[in-house]
Amino acid sequence: MILKREEIMERMEKLAKGEYLKFSIPQTFGGGIAIVQVNPDEGKKYVLKLGTDENSALEAKPYWEQDKAKPIAKWVADRVGDLIE
């Protein structure tokens, strides 16, 4: 399901620690999986991780960290991230 930036932000703001959103990124933008989660460590509030599949994305070092949901939601929306539930 392709979500708009505002919808992604709403879902991000409802996440609890340990929960995450998983998006499939089209091959046009490099392919793979993008994981958005509340930062399990100290630091910025939200974390974006990338990988070829869900497990590699979860184990990857953070690609980007932000305190606000908007920049990460925009990144996913700009790359036509398809929410995988």
Domain ranges of the chain: 5-84
Alpha-carbon distance of 59 to 8, in angstroms, equals: 22
Question: Per residue of the chain (85 residues), what is the pLDDT tens digit?
Answer: 999 999 999 999 999 988 999 999 999 999 999 999 999 888 899 999 999 999 999 999 999 999 999 999 999 999 999 999 8
- For the full predicted model, state whether its pTM sits above 0.85: yes
Alpha-carbon distance of 54 to 35, in angstroms, equals: 8
Spatial strand order in the sheet of 82-84: 64-66, 46-51, 33-38, 20-24, 82-84
